[in-house]
């Protein structure tokens, strides 16, 4: 869930110093620079605020949720069982506001004498009189509650008692509660949607990490597991779902005589509060049974009728069986519901027995034929199913070890997905989607380690910040490495032992290391240089990762933390060392795994004489979580090998080699010329995912419009076109003659768009002709569908190469009632590709019209135009001419966004002054200072980039004919 790392050309010390000053001096102002990107659609007004019910004289105030913080509970009481009743007061057709009420009776065991019961509650209001029964099983016994106080800052409610709860005895805490149902997608929330042409409502929940306390008072910590009896009262036209199967459906009348349905669910397994789940909806479902597990996929009725969830149903059972067989641990529930929610902020959630998904991640439509949607659904479903073991059956003790949930599930999601979609290449997709993006994130000073100490994750710490690429992708990458050096057989055996030991309980990472060590100690095939804990703590308890430098002549490998050497803040001495597994090959022959367990070590077997022609490749197929820096001798040999026989190096290792060398260039470990030497072979490269990483480094998306301002463009054009032609012709042939053959080409679905866009941007006439042909075919027959995997590029260059006629057709199709939101977004972008200035200016003028566009489209149009070759100047003039109207509609956010894009073109003081003249008249003094520093920083960044591009141009001049 975390963002992927940025790409492009990194900056040096002067720019970094200025940026630091900017951040320190004007942090508050910069926080106002909010991006305005988003879908162009009519935004519904927010629902009316609920009228608060006046609290009674003894009722506590109704605090707002604090969102994932709060103190740890004292530990005096251990929850054993919850009897929970929820009653959302939602009827079809009602406008709201909506509330919910409930009653919870929690059986607890007292672990230490106490005169107060402290449990979590946030945003809830007490109803009725709280009570404490017990000690059990004494009939009629009770402890008097003398007061109930809410402590909003700590998200707890405290029951003050006249007597004491006694250690070793059991009691029942009884609390009534009320809350509001909001459309905020957290806790218990309301969603409005359209189904079969009618407006409908549903209620659903999202309780991770700490939103259970906003739904019912509870002991809301992952280690405080208990069983649950859940009862939901709801409108008779709805169905209620929870973690367990329904065992009874009855009726009741409220105080007004209105009829409600009561759905009672079977007793749950022992689980954490954040996994409790509730859905109340008017959905249909499809079902199948796999090994006694009833699987139901719930969705809007029209989606079910159209077969949109059939694919999800067809893969869920097989993935369940695959994981059961692999882990040798059975799924313990009798049913599994997967619910496709029209609006869901988390993307997907693994609630035990009732998984919830944003519907786009669970539905496969006929129009998705040439998209990566099938693979995406398989990956996401597999991730949530992995959680049924890693997170639900065995849960981390505390959030500091969240990676035991998310990292392990992120690892198994790719195993499950490639099992049901065998045409996906596991190693390629895992490196491309998981390892490479997090290597881009995990390289700055201050990035946290994968596992923190428990005491760091408490108090005001935002637990939501842990749901990032470090937890998910680094956790999965470390798991991949661990499985690699253990062998998958031993690794799975250790996981089985771990799962069986801690089923229905909790564990920390040391527990996992212990079980792996037990398996390692019981065999002789795999020998480790240190204990599992020592090895793995070096990866999970330290931030960042190492870069290994190989000296071919001496056979010496040196490790250091991979940090930006251009950044003065990164040049301090860091003594982090890792215990590193090194898979390697010599001259194409795989060698036994070896280890680097100190900062530097000589490996005689890797020593190569200059007179020899041997080459060494480390970290084969990215089996380890680190980068590799080779000396010039080995790099020249690898470059020569790539030109003569690229397949001698495995595809993932070719990807890694190129990605590593560009990252090393960006961070000051080597020169750009070294990276460019490894691109000479590209005419023989037939892997699209490798081409993608090359183009992302040589032609970053946010520089396409500025690269043409340099002398570099004609050289880069000649150099790259010579190399892209074989790959382009291969795919152009399919596009023209048999595009259906690409339906199962995953990387074509993901990356062909970028590849084709770059080839057209480089001016290859056949690419421009192809785009024109397909666009003309669409103009001749509006029912024709341009293949989705290249639709954005074809529409852009169809308009760019065309004239007013092509632009007008895009405008007509944008306004066509049958156009989807995705098509409209593609056409909004395409219309900004026009090469005639007057068309762009007319487009911007259209954007001002309330009758032609919904109100939030104008900003999108401006930002599309400002990034284009000829558009940035036109868009800037348009913004300055129409600023009074734009300012009234959007405030200063739009100006901030436009200035950030315009900054790419700032290279001189005169250009900065030109922008200053305008924003000095429109911004407050503090904002003016922030923007001035931002543009100064951008100017220095652009100057350093220009110096780098000059080096690239000189290299291209020497090598353009090679």
Query: What is the CB neighbour count within 10 angstroms for residue 239?
Result: 19
Sequence-separated (6 or more) residues with CB below 8 Å from residue 246: 240, 263, 264, 265, 266
Structure tokens at 921: 């008249």
Cα–Cα distance, 836 to 802 (Å, whole number): 10
Q: What's the angle, vertex CA 59, arms to CA 54 and CA 62, rounded to 5?
A: 65
Give the 3-state secondary structure of residue 287.
Answer: strand
Cα–Cα distance, 346 to 369 (Å, whole number): 26
Cα–Cα distance, 353 to 346 (Å, whole number): 17
Query: Count H helices, E strands: the chain?
Result: 31, 29
Q: Which residues are marked as active site?
A: 384, 472
Residue with tokens 């009758």: 851
Closest CA to 236 of 212, 216, 253, 256: 253
Strands of 77-88's sheet in order across: 142-143, 125-136, 170-181, 98-110, 77-88, 227-234, 259-265, 246-253
Structure tokens at 650: 């495995």
Sequence-separated (6 or more) residues with CB below 8 Å from residue 724: 682, 691, 755, 758, 759, 762, 764
Query: What is the CB neighbour count within 10 angstroms for residue 365?
Result: 15
Structure tokens at 207: 């309780």
DSSP 3-state percent helix, strand, coil across the chain (nearest 5): 45, 20, 35
Residue with tokens 């003028």: 845
Cα–Cα distance, 958 to 914 (Å, whole number): 38
Cα–Cα distance, 161 to 32 (Å, whole number): 48
Cα–Cα distance, 382 to 420 (Å, whole number): 10
Note whether 843 and 863 are within 8 A (CB): no
Cα–Cα distance, 778 to 781 (Å, whole number): 5
Per-residue CA distances from 442 to 5, 435, 657 (Å): 8, 10, 18
Q: Are strands 589-596 and 580-586 parallel, antiparallel or unpaired?
A: antiparallel
**Sign of the torsion formed by the C-alpha atoms of 696, 697, 702 and 704:** negative
Strands of 546-551's sheet in order across: 600-602, 556-561, 546-551, 627-630
E strands within 50-185?
Answer: 77-88, 98-110, 114-120, 125-136, 142-143, 145-151, 156-165, 170-181
Residue with tokens 């035991």: 404
Please name the residue ranges forming H helices in 687-739. Answer: 688-698, 704-707, 712-737
Cα–Cα distance, 214 to 159 (Å, whole number): 17
Structure tokens at 508: 């920390």
* Cis before 227 (ω within 30): no
Backbone angles phi, psi at 125, to 5 degrees: -115, 135
Backbone angles phi, psi at 341, to 5 degrees: -90, 135
Residue with tokens 């529930």: 333
Cα–Cα distance, 532 to 870 (Å, whole number): 58
The helix (H) or strand (E) run that includes residue 339 is strand 335-341
Residue with tokens 């010579």: 722
Structure tokens at 661: 């060398």
């Amino acid at each position: 869930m975390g963002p992927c790392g940025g790409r492009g050309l990194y900056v040096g010390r002067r720019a970094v110093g200025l940026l630091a000053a900017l951040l320190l001096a004007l942090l508050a102002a910069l926080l106002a620079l909010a991006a305005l990107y988003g879908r162009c659609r009519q935004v519904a007004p927010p629902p009316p605020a609920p009228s608060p019910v006046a609290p009674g004289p003894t009722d506590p105030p109704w605090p707002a949720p604090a969102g994932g913080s709060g103190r740890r509970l004292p530990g005096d009481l251990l929850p054993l069982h919850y009897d929970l009743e929820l009653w959302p007061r939602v009827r079809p057709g009602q406008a709201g506001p909506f509330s919910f009420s409930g009653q919870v009776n929690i059986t607890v065991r007292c672990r230490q004498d106490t005169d107060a019961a402290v449990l979590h509650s946030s945003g809830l209001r007490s109803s009725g009189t709280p009570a404490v029964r017990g000690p059990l099983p004494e009939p009629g016994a009770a402890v008097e509650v003398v007061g109930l106080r809410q402590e909003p800052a700590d998200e707890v409610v405290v029951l003050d008692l006249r007597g004491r709860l006694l250690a070793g005895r059991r009691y029942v805490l009884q609390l009534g509660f009320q809350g509001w149902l909001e459309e905020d997608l957290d806790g218990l929330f309301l969603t409005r949607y359209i189904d079969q042409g009618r407006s409908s409502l549903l209620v659903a929940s999202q309780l991770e990490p700490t939103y259970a306390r906003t739904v019912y008072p509870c002991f809301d910590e992952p280690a405080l597991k208990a069983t649950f009896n859940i009862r939901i009262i709801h409108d008779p036209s709805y169905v209620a779902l929870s973690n367990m199967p329904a065992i009874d459906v009855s009726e009741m009348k409220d105080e007004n005589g209105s009829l409600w349905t009561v759905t009672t669910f079977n007793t749950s397994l022992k689980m954490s509060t954040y996994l409790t789940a509730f859905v109340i909806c008017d959905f249909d479902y499809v079902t199948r049974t796999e090994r006694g597990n009833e699987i139901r996929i719930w969705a809007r009725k029209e989606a079910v009728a159209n077969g949109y969830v059939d694919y999800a149903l067809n893969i869920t059972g097989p993935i369940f069986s695959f994981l059961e067989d692999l882990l040798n641990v059975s799924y313990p529930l009798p049913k599994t519901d997967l619910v496709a929610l029209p609006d869901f902020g988390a993307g997907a959630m693994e609630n035990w027995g009732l998984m919830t998904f944003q519907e786009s991640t669970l539905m496969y439509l006929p129009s998705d034929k040439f998209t990566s949607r099938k693979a995406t659904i398989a990956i996401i479903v597999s991730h949530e199913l992995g959680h049924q073991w890693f997170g639900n059956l065995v849960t981390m003790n505390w959030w500091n070890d969240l990676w035991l949930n998310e990292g392990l599930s992120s690892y198994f999601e790719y195993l499950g997905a490639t099992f049901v979609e065998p045409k996906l290449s596991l190693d390629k997709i895992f490196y491309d989607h998981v390892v490479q993006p997090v290597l881009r994130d995990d390289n700055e000073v201050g990035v946290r380690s994968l596992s923190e100490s428990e005491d760091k994750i408490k108090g005001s710490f935002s637990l939501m910040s842990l749901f990032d690429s470090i937890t998910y992708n680094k956790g999965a990458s470390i798991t991949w490495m661990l499985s690699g050096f253990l062998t998958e057989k031993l690794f799975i055996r250790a996981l089985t032992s771990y799962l069986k030991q801690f089923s229905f309980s909790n564990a920390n990472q040391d527990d996992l290391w212990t079980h792996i060590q037990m398996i390692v100690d019981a065999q002789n095939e795999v020998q480790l240089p240190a204990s599992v804990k020592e090895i793995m703590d070096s990866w999970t308890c330290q931030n960042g990762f190492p870069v290994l430098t190989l000296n071919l002549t001496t056979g010496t490998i040196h490790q250091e933390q991979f940090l930006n050497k251009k950044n003065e803040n990164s040049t301090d001495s860091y003594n982090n060392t890792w215990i590193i597994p090194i898979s390697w090959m010599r001259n194409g022959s795989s060698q036994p795994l070896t280890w680097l367990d100190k900062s530097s070590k000589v490996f005689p077997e890797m020593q190569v004489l200059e007179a020899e022609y041997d080459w060494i490749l480390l970290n084969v197929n990215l089996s380890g979580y680190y980068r590799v820096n080779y000396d010039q001798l080995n790099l020249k040999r690898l470059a020569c090998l790539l030109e003569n026989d690229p397949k001698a190096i495995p595809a993932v290792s070719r990807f890694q080699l190129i990605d590593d060398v560009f990252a090393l260039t960006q961070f000051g470990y080597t020169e750009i010329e070294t990276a460019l030497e490894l691109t000479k072979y590209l005419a023989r490269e037939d892997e699209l995912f490798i081409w993608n990483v090359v183009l992302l480094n040589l032609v970053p998306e946010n520089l396409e419009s500025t690269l043409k301002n340099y002398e570099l463009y004609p050289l880069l054009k000649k150099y790259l076109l010579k190399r892209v032609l074989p790959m382009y012709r291969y795919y152009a042939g399919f596009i023209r003659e048999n595009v259906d053959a690409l339906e199962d080409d995953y990387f074509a679905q993901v990356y062909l768009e970028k590849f084709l866009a770059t080839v057209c941007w480089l001016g290859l006439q056949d690419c421009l002709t192809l785009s024109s042909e397909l666009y003309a075919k669409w103009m001749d027959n509006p029912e024709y569908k341009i293949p989705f995997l290249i639709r954005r590029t074809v529409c852009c260059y169809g308009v760019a190469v065309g004239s007013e006629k092509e632009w007008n057709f895009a405008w007509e199709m944008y306004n066509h009632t049958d156009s989807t939101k995705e098509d409209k977004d593609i056409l909004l972008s395409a219309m900004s590709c026009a090469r005639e200035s007057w068309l762009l200016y007319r487009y911007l003028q259209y954007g001002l019209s309330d009758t032609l566009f919904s109100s939030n489209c104008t900003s999108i149009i401006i930002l599309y135009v400002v990034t284009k070759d000829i558009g940035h100047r036109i868009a800037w003039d348009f913004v300055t001419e129409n600023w009074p109207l734009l300012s009234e509609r959007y405030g200063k956010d739009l100006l901030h966004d436009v200035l950030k894009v315009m900054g790419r073109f700032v290279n001189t003081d005169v250009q900065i002054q030109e922008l200053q003249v305008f924003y000095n008249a429109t911004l407050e003094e503090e904002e003016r200072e922030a923007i001035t520093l931002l543009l100064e920083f951008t100017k220095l960044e652009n100057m350093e980039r220009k110096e780098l591009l000059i080096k690239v141009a000189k290299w291209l001049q020497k090598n353009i004919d090679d």
